[in-house]
Amino acid sequence: MEKNRTLAGLSKYIRHSPEWYYFIVPAFILLLIDYLILGNAYFVAIVLLPSYILLNFLDYIFIKISRSQFPVYRLIYFDFASFFISNLFFYAAYLLNFVIGINILYMTMLAISFAAFFRFLILYIYFPNRSLSLVISSMSYTFSFIIISLIFYYKYLKVVYFIPFIISSLIYVAFAIFFIRFSTSNFYKRYKSKPAELINFFISRSQIGAVADNFFSKVYNKIREIPVKTVDIRSNGKTKVLMVFPYVHPGPYGNLCSSNLPYKLSAELGLENIMVFHTATTNSNNCCGKEDIKNIAGAVKSSLKKINYSSRISKIEKLRINGYSMSMFRFGNYGLSAIIPDEKKFDDISLKEGLKLIKAMKNVSEDFAVIDAQNCFTRNAPELNDLSMFLNSAQRLFKSMETKYDAMIGFGSVKSNIESLGPLGIQAITLKTDNYQSIVLTDSNNITEEAMNLVRSKFDFDVEIYTTDNHLANASNLDVNPLGAKDPQQVADAIAEAVKKSINDIELVEMGMGTSYVKVRMGEENSFQILINTVISSLKRAKYSIAVVLLLSIITSILAFKYLMFFMLLL
């Protein structure tokens, strides 16, 4: 099984359609070539061009009636592609007509029928459960040609000649159906769901509907008990900021399942000053839905009742092992640490390994939380599946840390419409010991190294920057979209503002940690990688079979068209 694949790996298949006016010149060039081959300006101007225009109109009516998410710009692109593909087939057939042996005028019908194969494949993604409508719409180009011919060219084409035309189109549709079922059989076998439904959800990204929820309920369906750790920082008996460490992953995408987890927990708990950290989890640890969020919120409330507070803290210390870094903060006999990419990069930490480190640290502490810093964005970075190198060193570091400072801590936050930043914006807590030390949490799916360096250049003390790994940012184009990729200076300025606010907010506080366990529905080990690999394997199967299927469909269609035409001539 290939590792480290994410939804972002599929983003290359999702592209925005060009504007309609880009197709005008290419369309007229194709019509000009048609005229040069056919030598019949009347046929080109009165049949071919109107057929193409009518195709757009018929498809537009179909989309409106079906009420599907199929924007006009995508429709125009789709119909131009149908026109382009049929013309390519026509040119190839013209060059090979010494073998095919069909009248050049009727060859245009054969070429247009070929578009039905391509059209069916595309439309199937949008209408996987509308079989009859799908077949009819995939043959819209065939019908538009017939309608225009009967109106403007009926003197030259007998109606009976349209029978092989329709049958040829149906042959291509039949082969397209076979191709889809063959390519996606493994996917359907595993998930009992049509992959087209899921693909349609991702293409029509504004829809967060029952189809995607239903599908991911089959992926994330294992009941598992996980810890939810809560650090309450309070002043004068009132919560100043709540730091939450839920051992679930904030994915997979957009607002689905446990994506946008920080905001969902904030809303469920009715709290604004809440920092939801990305813990040692992977996409296999995404939760199923709303009920899980409620359960996690309930665990936060429960853990607050178990907290013993302390007003003594240590400095934030750091150690480097085997190309990775670990930062650690101790308060009372509690601690939290972040695993940080350094010389070696990674994306997500195995839940199993995170829990193993927590267990080891509880031998020297009352309670402990492990964070995945999820910073220093590196595309295609591997998961970190081994934390054993930290166990002994982390224990020694914690025991050596002195809580000799009063808990002087401030909190600040900045909400902004910066691209790739989630609803909770940028949050910062700053400790005052011998100097200032800040922990920044951005509600984003990772952050660029450039943005972090710009932040650090603004201060003469340590600023640790972590992210929530919020997959809400993936919704715009099915990619990671790390914070700072577009405007790192704007991001750095916003983070600096949050840090300055937290410095101005510093006061004497007390803090402590509580843990509650909760049952949630999440994926099995490697479930998300299995999903991605199943999708990729379907694409590969399609890639290797398309040539054979196309060749067989073309041969079958030509033979059927040719001999049916011969039969019609005898009538």
Each residue's pLDDT tens digit, 290-346:
899 999 999 999 999 999 999 999 999 999 999 999 999 999 999 999 999 988 999
The whole-angstrom separation of Cα 508 and Cα 186 is: 60
Backbone angles phi, psi at 261, to 5 degrees: -55, -45
Q: What is the CA radius of gyration of the chain?
A: 30
Collapsing DSSP to helix, strand or coil, 211 comes out as helix
The confidence score (pLDDT) of residue 211 equals 62
pLDDT at 183 over 60: yes
The confidence score (pLDDT) of residue 288 equals 81
- Neighbour tally for 256: CB within 10 Å: 24
The confidence score (pLDDT) of residue 6 equals 52
Closest CA to 116 of 559, 551, 554, 563: 554
Higher pLDDT, 14 or 551: 551
Confidence of residue 520 (pLDDT cuts 50, 70, 90): very high
Containing H/E element for 113?
Answer: helix 104-126
Higher pLDDT, 133 or 304: 304
Average pLDDT of span 414-440? 94
The whole-angstrom separation of Cα 224 and Cα 203 is: 31
Average pLDDT of span 29-43? 93
Note whether 54 and 79 are within 8 A (CB): no
The whole-angstrom separation of Cα 253 and Cα 469 is: 11
Q: What is the mean pLDDT of the chain?
A: 87
Instruction: Average the pLDDT over each of 242-256, 349-363, 401-415 and give the range with the smallest value.
Output: 242-256
pLDDT at 129 over 80: no
Helices 140-152 & 72-95 angle (0-180, nearest 10): 70
SS3 content of the chain, % helix, strand, coil (to 5): 55, 20, 30
pLDDT at 476 over 50: no
Instruction: Average the pLDDT over each of 94-103, 521-530, 555-564 and give the range with the smallest value.
Output: 521-530
Confidence of residue 5 (pLDDT cuts 50, 70, 90): low
The whole-angstrom separation of Cα 222 and Cα 228 is: 18
Collapsing DSSP to helix, strand or coil, 538 comes out as helix
The confidence score (pLDDT) of residue 23 equals 86
Instruction: Average the pLDDT over each of 188-197, 228-237, 275-284, 551-560 and give the range with the smallest value.
Output: 188-197
Tokens linked to 362: 């509880």
The confidence score (pLDDT) of residue 70 equals 74
Contacts 24+ apart (CB under 8 A), 535-543: 535/10, 535/187, 535/195, 536/2, 536/5, 536/9, 537/186, 538/183, 538/184, 538/186, 538/187, 538/195, 539/13, 539/183, 541/182, 541/183, 541/186, 542/179, 542/183
For the chain, how many residues are written?
Answer: 571
Strand order in the sheet with 408-414: 462-467, 436-442, 426-432, 408-414, 507-508
Average pLDDT of span 23-31? 92
* DSSP symbol at 205: T
Note whether 113 and 169 are within 8 A (CB): yes
The confidence score (pLDDT) of residue 482 equals 86
Dihedral sign, CA of 512, 516, 522, 524?
positive
Strand 222-235, strand 238-246: pairing:
antiparallel
Instruction: Average the pLDDT over each of 84-98, 149-163, 230-244, 392-406 and give the range with the smallest value.
Output: 149-163
pLDDT at 13 over 60: no
Note whether 438 and 460 are within 8 A (CB): no
- Neighbour tally for 400: CB within 10 Å: 10
The confidence score (pLDDT) of residue 204 equals 57
